[in-house]
Every structure is written in C-alpha cells, then in structure tokens.
Amino acid sequence: MPKRRRRGSPWAGVAWTYWRLHDRQGCVIGFKRTWRDVTHYVDLREERWRVEPIAFAEAVRLAGELPGFAYLKDPEESD
C-alpha cells in the first residue's frame, strides 16, 4: 500500500519565533526558525536556503509560517 502524503503543515496556525537576520549594514536579509541551527536560514535576497554564520539576529514572534518557508525546501529536510 503506498504511503499517504499529509496535506498542509501540522504546524499551521502555530506562533513561531523567528530570528530576523541582518547583514553588517543593518539590512534584513532573511529569517530562520529557532529550532534550526544558527547557520541555516532563508535568504530573502536570493530566495533560497543558506548555510553560513549569521552576524546579527533579532527575535520576532509571528503567527504561522513566513511565505518563503512555504516554497523553499530546507536542504536538511527530506520528503
């Protein structure tokens, strides 16, 4: 019997704590969830996941997922 794929996120409606990431000039460059390593984040400039040290981050509480997380696949997550 084939595996059934879940529809939607089991985390829908959950208030996530994100880190708002800044480059050295103070511009917002991306966001990451708190449960990820500090080097994994969505880069808003390139719309992709990046793995590199983060210079500065600020905690932000949001309801639900950011749009970028809906279509950008984390390289460490498998289907």
Q: Is the model more confident about 48 or about 59?
A: 48
pLDDT computed for residue 73 by the predictor: 46
| Per-residue pLDDT tens over the stretch 11-47 | 555 555 566 666 666 566 566 655 544 556 666 667 6
What is the C-alpha separation between 2 and 55, in angstroms, rounded?
45
Rounded to the nearest integer, the mean pLDDT of the chain is: 56
CB 20 within 8 A of CB 28: yes
Top pLDDT among 19 and 71 is at: 19
C-alpha distance across the termini of the chain, in Å: 18
Q: What pLDDT does residue 78 have?
A: 45
Total residue length of the chain: 79
For the chain, the structural domain boundaries read: 15-64
Query: Can you give the pLDDT at residue 72?
Result: 43
Q: Which residues lie below 8 Å from residue 76, measured CB to CB, with a gap of 6+?
A: 40
